[in-house]
Structure 1
Amino acid sequence: MKILYGTRNVAKINSMKNMLKNLPIEVVSLNDINLEIGKIDESGDRPLENARIKAFTYYKELKQPVFSCDSGLYIDEINPSKQPGVHVRRVNGKELNDEEMIEYYTELALEAGGELRARYRNAICLILDDKRVFEYAGDDIASEKFIITSKPHKKRNDGFPLDSISKDIQTGKYYMDLKSYTSNEEAMIEGFRNFFVKSLNL
């Protein structure tokens, strides 16, 4: 089954394809089709709201199976009213590029003594047709808790800039240096796979 992933982010596309490998799903992206559409107003306050906004926008344009994902960053040491949440890239009304994101969050970590504890909450909205819409934002597709450090790694992961300042709590290794999935990452992958298996009756 061919399903459009509503993103142009190559890192996210490759990550999703890897998560869904060996399932009878062909993931195509906005980079594979001819669709001229302006910037979508992701005005939701939660990841699921924004995933829904994006999925419905693309579905209305294309009338073909499509899914969209969204994430929010939640940091333990920050007041709830100041959480990045779904506005990971938008700070004080400005859209940050990858390097600006790294700079901003390393400064937050530095202010907290060098490290912060955080996790991503993820959500997905899948639209097969006008009557079949599936949504999910459960704990099993959220990330493990990790460390945001004030000392950036020298390497960069285009599309996932915060990987350069993220460390695995158990090993203390930068995400950039991990050679395999942690047990919690494997659980998250299984959560996404289960969502598609159940939604598509695979």
Structure 2
Amino acid sequence: MMKLLYGTSNPAKLQHMKEMLFGLDIEIIGFDERKLLTDPIDESGNSPLENAKIKAKAYYHGAGIPVFSCDTGLYIDGLNDSEQPGVHVRRVNGKTLSDEEMIAYYASVADKFGGQTKAKYSNAICLMIDENNIFEYDGDDISSGAFLLTSKAHTKRTAGFPLDSLSINMQTGKYFIEMDVNEEREKQSIIADGFRNFFLRTILK
């Protein structure tokens, strides 16, 4: 079984990835399990894929074991290119937002469009086995479908995923935060299959 370090300091994302890749012949570990201390990484890329590559290379050189990193960009209907959050979902006007600040900010964005607008997450992954074996991908099958971003925040919160309190599934009308296990699994199934297929065609083929 291959051991892979997931290059994220977010425990919620680590657990989510472990659940998506459960059953594959790989072991996903986090920084705590590796006892790895990392310096902040300058995620200066202009796209999710550029940032995923920056992080994977930095963590690989720091840990010395195979690493994969992911990055996400948020794209909101109605905003022009210069206004799109893109990869800077948490950074607004040079400030890194807390979960609650993110909810307040994106609620105000939705409010400009009458209380709600469509949005989508675009995801990317970069896997670095060694200097000569680097795999990257940003296809539609690892990105979210369209959802509604609303100005009315749900009262519940999930640490690390603040926008789940503002995001509404367009088919069910439910906030992401209030979906039950089966609904959440269905929402994530396509993305999970995309990530699983990435590893199956790269290191598990």
Q: TM-score range by the shorter chain?
A: over 0.9
Distance 1:31 1:143 in 2: 29
**Contact kept in structure 1, 2:142 and 2:192, CA below 8 Å:** yes
Deviation, 1:183, is: 4.8
Q: TM-score, normalised by structure 2?
A: 0.95
Equivalent residue number for residue 188 of structure 1: 191
Deviation, 1:60, is: 1.1
Relative to 1, partners in 2 of residues 1:29 and 1:93: Cα closer, same or farther, differing over 3 Å? same
Equivalent residue number for residue 24 of structure 1: 25
Distance 2:141 2:71 in 1: 15
Deviations 1:22-68 (Å, cap 9, x if unpaired)? 11111001122222321100000000000000000011122211000
Give the % identical residues. 54
Deviations 1:42-98 (Å, cap 9, x if unpaired)? 000000000000000011122211000000000011112210000000001110000
Deviation, 1:163, is: 0.3
**Contact kept in structure 2, 1:144 and 1:185, CA below 8 Å:** no
Task: Please tell me the root mean square deviation across aligned C-alpha atoms, in Å.
Answer: 1.1
| Secondary structure at 2:102 match in 1 | helix
Deviation, 1:171, is: 1.0
| Secondary structure at 2:184 match in 1 | coil
Which consecutive unaligned segments of at least 5 residues does structure 2 have? none
**Contact kept in structure 2, 1:7 and 1:29, CA below 8 Å:** yes
Q: TM-score, normalised by structure 1?
A: 0.97
**Contact kept in structure 2, 1:8 and 1:31, CA below 8 Å:** no
Q: 4+ residue stretches of structure 1 with deviation over 3 A?
A: 181-184
Deviations 1:140-197 (Å, cap 9, x if unpaired)? 1010111111111111010011001110011110001111236553111100000011
| Secondary structure at 2:130 match in 1 | coil
Equivalent residue number for residue 111 of structure 1: 112
